[in-house]
């Protein structure tokens, strides 16, 4: 049985069809895969900050996280977003346990390199995999919010992609980034085609040539960074398409796989 870490971005959580959660439950029931969800919630954090009239500042496109902002981030991530996912899995017939990275020291954290500018933004220094393994063995689907904590009890807001990569690497798991696009799209002979696979070097070339641009850049960067964490394979796929996760789990071509090397770029 293999672990499959599924990263759900906060920007598409509201649009996820119930079929997506049914597919996650089907994966669990297959006995071949143990799905683990790591989620974000940036838009929800922004919305709550606005409702509470708390000023949000950004540096280099990243949110500056004071203790006040961190309180709201924890409310949004470990509360609203986390329990929404747990409820949807329950509706689909599964048993999910929502857990914060602070629970049991699941995600041990340290300040990120740019913490001096960004405040309480962290990165994962260690994952207590035994917590995840116990939940999985108990028949549950873990749903993890990316708030970490250090040995002094200081909390840190951790980028969801980074947290998912750290969890996947610690478990030797495959990692799927769920998006609202079918994968990496490039132009060939005047038409948009999806790449079935790409290496980090190939992705760098596509970014440099402008084939990968805009909002796709952070997605592919997150996948490449996952490989740097030690994840053997990361994939970007469309979570709005029913059956996409099951197709990937069966080994069929689904989305775009980001791999260390091996196969060359090719499209459908």
Q: Where are the domains of the chain?
A: 2-172
The CATH architecture assigned to 2-172 reads: 3-Layer(aba) Sandwich (3.40)
pLDDT in tens, the chain (268 residues): 799 999 998 888 888 999 999 999 999 999 999 999 999 998 999 999 999 999 888 887 678 999 999 999 999 999 999 999 999 999 999 999 999 999 999 999 999 988 888 999 999 999 999 999 999 999 999 999 999 999 999 999 998 988 999 999 999 999 999 988 888 988 888 888 999 999 999 999 999 998 888 777 878 888 888 898 888 889 999 988 889 999 999 989 889 999 887 544 454 5
Q: Which residues of 86-124 are buried (b: 16+ CB within 10 A; e: fewer)?
A: bebbeebebebbbbbbbbebbbbbbbbeeeeebbbbbbb
């Amino acid at each position: 049985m293999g672990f499959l870490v599924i990263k759900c971005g906060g920007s598409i959580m509201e649009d996820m069809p119930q079929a997506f959660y049914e597919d996650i439950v089907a994966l669990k029931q297959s006995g071949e895969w143990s799905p683990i969800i790591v989620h974000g919630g940036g838009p929800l954090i922004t919305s709550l900050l606005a409702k509470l009239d708390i000023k949000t500042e950004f540096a280099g496109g990243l949110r500056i996280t004071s203790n006040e902002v961190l309180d709201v981030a924890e409310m949004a991530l470990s509360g609203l977003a986390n329990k929404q996912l747990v409820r949807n899995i329950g509706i689909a017939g599964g048993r999910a346990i929502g857990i914060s990275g602070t629970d049991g020291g699941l995600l041990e954290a340290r300040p990120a390199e740019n913490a001096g500018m960004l405040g309480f933004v962290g990165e994962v220094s260690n994952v207590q995999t035994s917590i995840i393994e116990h939940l999985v063995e108990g028949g549950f689907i873990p749903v993890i919010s990316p708030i970490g904590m250090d040995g002094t009890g200081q909390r840190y807001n951790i980028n969801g992609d980074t947290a998912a990569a750290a969890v996947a690497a610690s478990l030797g798991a495959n990692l799927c980034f769920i998006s609202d696009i079918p994968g990496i799209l490039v132009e060939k002979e005047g038409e948009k085609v999806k790449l079935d696979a790409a290496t980090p070097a190939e992705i760098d070339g596509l970014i440099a040539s402008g084939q990968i641009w805009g909002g796709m850049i952070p997605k592919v960067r997150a996948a490449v960074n996952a490989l740097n964490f030690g994840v053997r394979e990361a994939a970007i796929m469309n979570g709005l398409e029913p059956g996409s996760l099951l197709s990937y789990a069966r080994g069929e071509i689904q989305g775009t796989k980001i791999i260390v090397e091996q196969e060359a770029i090719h499209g459908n």
